[in-house]
A and B are shown apart, each in its own frame.
Chain A
Amino acid sequence: AQRVTQPEKLLSVFKGAPVELKCNYSYSGSPELFWYVQYSRQRLQLLLRHISRESIKGFTADLNKGETSFHLKKPFAQEEDSAMYYCALSDRGSTLGRLYFGRGTQLTVWP
C-alpha cells in the first residue's frame, strides 16, 4: 500500500506567487516526515523534517495528523525554487526504519 501520496505530478506558478506542494500519508503509528528537494540532475537534499519545525529557504511544512497531511508551503516562490520535491515518511515502527518516498512533484516557477 502506498504510504505517501503526492497528488500533483507537475505544478507551475509565477515568481512571487504562493506555492503549496501537497503530501498525504497513511501510517498507523506516530509519523516522522521529511521533504527532499532535487535540483536538475543533482542529488536529493534534505529540505525539511517535521520534528525540527524549521524553515529552510522560506519553505515551511506543518504536520496535520487529522488530515494525514504534510504540505510544503512558501509564500513567495522564486525561480530558483524550480526543482523536483519529494515527500518521505519514516517507518520507525519497522525493525529497520526505512523511508517511503512519494512519486514527487516537479515545481516550475516562471519569471
Chain B
Amino acid sequence: DAGITQSPRHKVTETGTPVTLRCHQTENHRYMYWYRQDPGHGLRLIHYSYGVKDTDKGEVSDGYSVSRSKTEDFLLTLESATSSQTSVYFCAISGSQGTEQYFGPGTRLTVT
C-alpha cells in the first residue's frame, strides 16, 4: 500500500458538531483528494488539492471545507455535521495529473 493513513478510522458524532478528518501521506505526491462512498452512489469527489494551499471543490462540496498547509497533510472539515454526512470517507493521492490514484484505508463516520 502507498504510504497513506487516515485518522480517525471510526468516529461517531452528534448533529451540529464540527468534525475534522486527517489524511497523511509519506509519498510526497502533489495531488490529494477526498471522496465519500455511499451505497448506490459509488465514490463522489468532495474536494481536491493540487499543492500546498491550493484546493478546489468537487461535486459534493456543500458542508465541507479543506485545508492543506503541508504537502503531506490534507484535512477535511465538516463544519456542522448532519446525518446526511454519515458515510465512509476516503483520501487518495496521485503523483501526476490525471494518473492513477492510491487510496487510504477510509474513515467511517456516523452522525447521530
Contacts and interface: CB of A to CB of B under 8 A. Distances in A.
Interface of A: 9, 32, 34, 36, 42-46, 49, 86, 90-92, 94, 96-99, 101-104
Interface of B: 1, 31, 33, 40-45, 48, 50, 56, 58, 90, 92, 96-106
B94 to A, nearest CB: 8
Contacts, number: 55
A19 B90 CA distance: 28
Contacts of A46: 100-102
Contact of B48 (A43, A44, A98): A98
Contacts of A102: 42
Contacts of B56: 96
A101 B42 CA distance: 7
B90 A43 contact: yes
A87 to B, nearest CB: 10
